[in-house]
Chains A and B, each alone.
Chain A
């Protein structure tokens, strides 16, 4: 028992030790390289605070963060609505699967980032091409997972629904969607991380605001503290997204674990 307790204590301390080791090696590395190509935590924090006094491109860092968030959330909303509805159509109707499904399948292998240059040629660097790119990057996971989740529905359950006089809509709502929900949700999770990556890539290749712009701007003027600061904010928001989704998943599907 005593030994068991000791072991548990070690397991609780170990994560703290390793995280502090990571931060210490960050500081050591920045000192060893002179602090310019890889600034330490203190100068990164100072750089971020400085953006509140001297805004970049007319905005504080919070403004840039909100712009990126607005873009990604708009794109994700469009993807989820269209992806789930098209997924339901393609997953439940074989004619639509052979036509609409295979039409969409033509575009799937092209990575969303490869669309960026042509989108800029077509639409410039405004909001529309960015939203479109996010939709391109996040639509397929939702659509495909919805379609495959729907095809998992047990035929017997559908028959029962019909025998008890359920209409098409109520069968969809009461039987099909609950069965497909876990699969749809894992599609949404993939979409969110894809969408977040794509919005950065789009902003890095041409934008007037956003976190991706901050990264590029810092890179361009050799201000690595700004680059690292933006990257840390990006990572933090990405982690928040996945945390919130996990919470939402538990709330929506308590039966699933």
Chain B
């Protein structure tokens, strides 16, 4: 059988149509799954299958959300104050980690002297989980903003350094040779060839750092704080208010997802030349 060009074209279009229909179908399935999940949760809580004091229904959590906008109980802060406190701490720690960690990693990856001196120290400090720093930092600096920022800093610093370090070491040797053949100094090569080629890895590192700084924040605030979402969760637990605890968890999840979405858009914009 002979297949003509326009037959092939028709086959391709048919295939595309089926594919589009499939995408639509799977999107509906996704939405339905989520609706069923929340419906079941509401049902289970309404019917008293589980104790509503330990698992509040989605409707109850929404109510608590609205109430927390204007009421300070039980943790003594408005919801907006808690959110702002958390954002402030995590973004402070995140940005200082990026500002210090990325250049440090790049320099360590490019200059062998720095590699040999700083990498061993970094390798010693790296395996300490950021959470384990909490008592040490709190004893040093109390429970103020700077202590929490420092803990977040530790969690975000490591991926920034590692990814910049690895990223710049993966620079294509040919590019380096070309640039040096044309008479560029080592520093110029570092700026014009090394840094741009390491950018995708650096961005991945920064993205991991952002996620880390948000999830460590909760730990830092649960152990030592007077405001913030983690603090609100901890107070909710002490007053046996499961609705406040779950509300805090949901907000942390939603805000974390928003932050990582914003960063991914920024990444796509910055790396559009790729």
Q: Which of B117, B140, B249, B256 contacts A118 (CB 8 A)?
A: B249
The tally of CB-CB contacts under 8 A between chains A and B is 151
* Chain A interface category by residue count: 35 or more
Is the CB–CB distance between B135 and A215 below 8 Å? Answer: yes
Chain B residues in 8 Å Cβ range of A14: 113, 116-117
Is the CB–CB distance between B112 and A106 below 8 Å? Answer: no
Interface centre among B22, B132, B260 (most CB of A within 10 A): B132
Q: Which of B33, B214, B236, B237 contacts A103 (CB 8 A)?
A: B33
Classify the interface of chain A: helix, strand, loop or mixed: helix
Is the CB–CB distance between A227 and B131 below 8 Å? Answer: no
B171 at the interface (CB under 8 A from A): no
Is the CB–CB distance between A236 and B127 below 8 Å? Answer: yes
Give 1 or 0 for each of B157-190: 1 = CB within 8 Å of chain A CB.
Answer: 0000000000000000000000000000000000
Is the CB–CB distance between A224 and B128 below 8 Å? Answer: no
Is the CB–CB distance between A115 and B116 below 8 Å? Answer: no
How many angstroms between the C-alpha atoms of A38 and B250 in the bound complex? 38
Are A231 and B34 also in contact (CB < 8 A) when A15-B120, A110-B252 are?
no
How many angstroms between the C-alpha atoms of A110 and B120 in the bound complex? 34
Is the CB–CB distance between A231 and B136 below 8 Å? Answer: yes
Is the CB–CB distance between B121 and A19 below 8 Å? Answer: yes
Chain B residues in 8 Å Cβ range of A126: none
Is the CB–CB distance between B245 and A102 below 8 Å? Answer: no
Q: Which of A94, A109, A113, A200 contacts B22 (CB 8 A)?
A: A94
Is the CB–CB distance between A112 and B215 below 8 Å? Answer: yes
- What distance in Å separates the Cβ of B125 from its nearest Cβ neighbour in chain A? 8
Is the CB–CB distance between A114 and B248 below 8 Å? Answer: yes
B195 at the interface (CB under 8 A from A): no
Is the CB–CB distance between A234 and B128 below 8 Å? Answer: yes
* Number of B interface residues in the complex (CB < 8 A): 59
Is the CB–CB distance between B219 and A37 below 8 Å? Answer: no
Chain A residues in 8 Å Cβ range of B55: 122
Chain B residues in 8 Å Cβ range of A97: 26
Are A19 and B120 also in contact (CB < 8 A) when A95-B29, A97-B26, A121-B54 are?
yes
Is the CB–CB distance between A121 and B237 below 8 Å? Answer: yes
Q: Which of A112-141 contact B (CB under 8 A)?
A: 112-118, 120-122
User: Which residue of chain A has its CB nearest to the CB of B129?
Assistant: A197
How many angstroms between the C-alpha atoms of A106 and B236 in the bound complex? 22
Q: Which of A102, A113, A193, A196 contacts B219 (CB 8 A)?
A: A113
How many angstroms between the C-alpha atoms of A234 and B133 in the bound complex? 11
Give 1 or 0 for each of A179-194: 1 = CB within 8 Å of chain B CB.
Answer: 0000000000000010
Give 1 or 0 for each of A91-112: 1 = CB within 8 Å of chain B CB.
Answer: 0001101110011001001111
Chain A residues in 8 Å Cβ range of B254: 109
Are A238 and B120 also in contact (CB < 8 A) when A118-B245, A201-B219 are?
no
Is the CB–CB distance between A102 and B117 below 8 Å? Answer: no
Are A113 and B54 also in contact (CB < 8 A) when A37-B140, A98-B30, A102-B33 are?
no
Is the CB–CB distance between A110 and B222 below 8 Å? Answer: no
Q: Which of A224-256 contact B (CB under 8 A)?
A: 224, 227-228, 230-231, 234-236, 238-239, 242
Contacts A/B (CB < 8 Å), 16 sampled: A11-B112, A15-B116, A22-B124, A94-B22, A98-B29, A98-B30, A99-B30, A110-B250, A113-B222, A116-B222, A118-B242, A121-B242, A196-B129, A197-B129, A204-B131, A231-B132
If A102-B30, A219-B135 are given as contacts, then 11 extra A-B residue pairs at C-beta distance below 8 Å, sorted by A number, are A14-B113, A14-B117, A15-B117, A103-B33, A111-B214, A113-B215, A117-B234, A121-B240, A121-B242, A224-B139, A238-B128
Q: What residues make up the interface of A, taking CB atoms closer than 8 Å to B?
A: 11, 14-15, 17-19, 22, 37-38, 94-95, 97-99, 102-103, 106, 109-118, 120-122, 193, 196-197, 200-201, 204-205, 215-216, 218-219, 222, 224, 227-228, 230-231, 234-236, 238-239, 242
